[in-house]
Amino acid sequence: MKHIKNIILILLLFVIASYRPFGDINGDYRVSITDLVILHRITLGMESTPLQRLRAELNGDGVVDELDLKILRTYTLYK
Ligand SMILES: [Ca+2]
Ligand SMILES: [Ca+2]
């Protein structure tokens, strides 16, 4: 029984640690102009990490493009 509690605790900590706000591209747990700049650079084909590209895909269509940029731009303006 103690093992099950430990496993649940580890899973809970993993979920909490892996949570990032929507639009947090650089992984600093905040959504800011920095994330918008990184996303813009990705859409221009500039250097980025695979994790940044994964986080930058905001609308679920499988590509990082102007639509994702528009979503994040709107979100950062009105949050
Ligand atoms: Ca961020
Ligand atoms: Ca997209």
Give me the residues of the chain with pLDDT under 70, please: 17
The residue to which tokens 């959504």 are assigned: 31
Q: Which domains does the chain have, with CATH numbers?
A: 21-78 (1.10.1330.10)
Which-ligand-closest: CA of 30?
Answer: 1
Angle at the Cα of 55 (from 62 to 37), degrees rounded to 5? 105
pLDDT for residue 10: 86
pLDDT for residue 17: 64
pLDDT for residue 18: 72
Beta-carbon contacts of residue 53 (< 8 Å; ≥ 6 apart): 42, 64
The residue to which tokens 């950062």 are assigned: 76
Dist CA 34 CA 67 (whole Å): 18
Predicted TM-score of the model (pTM): 0.75
Which-ligand-closest: CA of 22?
Answer: 1
Dist CA 10 CA 14 (whole Å): 6
Task: State in Å: Cα 36 to ligand 1 middle.
Answer: 9
